[in-house]
Amino acid sequence: MMPIDAVAAAPLPADATAEVLALFEQHGAALYRFSRSTLDSRADAQDVVQETFLKLLEHLRRGGDRTNLRAWLFTVAANACRDRARRRLRWLPWRAELDTRTAAENDDPRDLARARTAFRRLSPRDRLLLSLRAQGLSYRDIGVAAGIRASSVGRLLARAVDRAKRELDRAGA
């Protein structure tokens, strides 16, 4: 793998540069929202988005496949989020009293607290599937990003929604 400085410094054909910029404009915000919902850390989410687009530069420089780059971007971001979550679990165990994450005040804070509690109680795979779907990915793209068969996405997503509803009921009780 090339060092990040080498990727950033290496000249790209104009069409690849334009393609990366266009993809960033189209999908950068969605990738950030997805990463933020998966990691619950602004800094980590920003890092994941940056690393994802640097990997895209490298991918395109090598003449990589350009079909369905949106799914490719979300797959790379999902893998980076999983890697960061694993690293964090190994080194800094989660403790409720240290969790100071907050949500934007768009709705009733009690509803947001219930939703966050319910979301945290879901398995990592359920959170991943729901986050990818919330970003508007198709079942096919979700399958690619999550590493599961596209034919299984609908069933797994339905189960994740059911578990989320049960957790919401439980959080409200």
Q: How do residues 12-35 score in pLDDT, each as one tens digit?
A: 455 777 888 889 999 999 999 999
* Confidence category of residue 116, pLDDT binned at 50, 70, 90: confident
pTM of the model: 0.54
Please name each of the domains of the chain with its CATH number. Answer: 1-101 (1.10.1740), 107-173 (1.10.10)
Mean pLDDT to the nearest integer, 122-151: 91
CA separation for the pair 94, 88 (Å, rounded): 9
Q: Which amino acid is at 72?
A: W
CA separation for the pair 107, 100 (Å, rounded): 19
In the chain, the N- to C-terminal Cα span, in Å, equals 51
Which segments of 40-108 does DSSP mark as H helices, in order? Answer: 42-61, 69-91
CA separation for the pair 130, 118 (Å, rounded): 12
Given a cut of 60, is residue 128 above it in pLDDT?
Answer: yes
Residues 81 and 94 sit within 8 Å (Cβ to Cβ): no
Mean pLDDT to the nearest integer, 122-130: 92
Tokens of 115: 């939703």
Given a cut of 50, is residue 109 above it in pLDDT?
Answer: yes
